[in-house]
């Protein structure tokens, strides 16, 4: 009996020693360690300096005002393109500001899971894929073109004009350089 008890104790000690560290967390990578140190440093900087004493929120009010202006359906503007020497050429009287041709009505990406790739079922999402616009087309990213809603001269009508050069859209007439 003593031999069995002694053998069991030795086996248990050996197994415990062999398994020591088996379930321990792996040491942090250098990136994780650096990120932890940076977080501590930033928290200390915030503790020492605090946040800026912003009381008027002027920039936020200006952005709000800009959003509200852009929402006015009859907000009159003037659209110009810039020449190679920096001059301005008037394109049209316009409504609102130019709209980037790469803007998208729907989310450009959709979340997908394993099933979308191989037909199997896994509950975890694994990434995103491009998503078509409502017209069935996939829009390019960063297209350097603009749609301008130009007032048709002599008519009370607005038409979309597609422009690719750099433009300036202003809510008031600008000085135009004559060539």
* pLDDT tens-digit map of 53-68: 999 999 999 999 999 9
pLDDT tens digits for 163-178? 887 777 777 777 776 6
The H or E element that residue 74 is part of is: none
Six token digits for residue 68: 């509200």
Q: List all residues 6 or more positions away from 86 whose beta carbon is below 8 Å from its beta carbon.
A: none
H helices, E strands: number in the chain: 4, 7
More confident residue, 65 or 109: 65
Res 115: pLDDT: 63
| In the chain, alpha helices (H) | 2-19, 30-49, 58-70, 114-118
Res 59: pLDDT: 96
The H or E element that residue 171 is part of is: none
Instruction: Tell me if the pTM is above 0.75.
Output: no
The strands making up 158-163's β-sheet, listed across from edge to edge, are 158-163, 146-151, 88-100, 76-82, 167-170
- Which of 25-29, 91-95, 117-121 has the lowest average pLDDT? 117-121
For residues 117-135, average pLDDT: 71
- Strands (DSSP E) along 103-152, which ranges? 109-113, 125-130, 146-151
Confidence of residue 49 (pLDDT cuts 50, 70, 90): very high
Whole-number Å distance between alpha carbons of 135 and 112:
21
Whether pLDDT at 40 is above 90: yes
Six token digits for residue 176: 């135009």
**What is the residue extent of each domain of the chain?**
72-102+141-179, 103-139
């Amino acid at each position: 009996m003593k031999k069995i008890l002694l053998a069991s104790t030795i086996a248990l000690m050996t197994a415990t020693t062999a398994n020591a560290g088996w379930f321990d967390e792996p040491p942090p990578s250098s990136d994780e360690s650096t990120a932890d140190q940076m977080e501590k440093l930033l928290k200390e900087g915030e503790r020492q300096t605090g946040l800026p004493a912003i009381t008027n929120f002027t920039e936020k009010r200006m952005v709000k005002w800009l959003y509200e202006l852009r929402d006015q359906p009859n907000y009159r503007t003037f659209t110009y393109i810039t020449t190679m020497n920096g001059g301005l050429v008037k394109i049209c009287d316009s409504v609102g500001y130019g709209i980037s041709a790469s803007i998208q009505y729907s989310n450009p990406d959709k979340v997908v899971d394993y099933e979308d790739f191989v037909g199997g079922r896994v509950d975890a999402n694994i990434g995103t894929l491009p998503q078509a616009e409502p017209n069935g087309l996939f829009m390019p990213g960063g297209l350097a073109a603009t749609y301008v809603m130009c007032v048709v001269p002599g008519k009370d009508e607005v038409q979309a004009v597609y422009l690719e050069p750099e433009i300036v859209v202003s809510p008031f007439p600008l000085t135009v350089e004559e060539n």
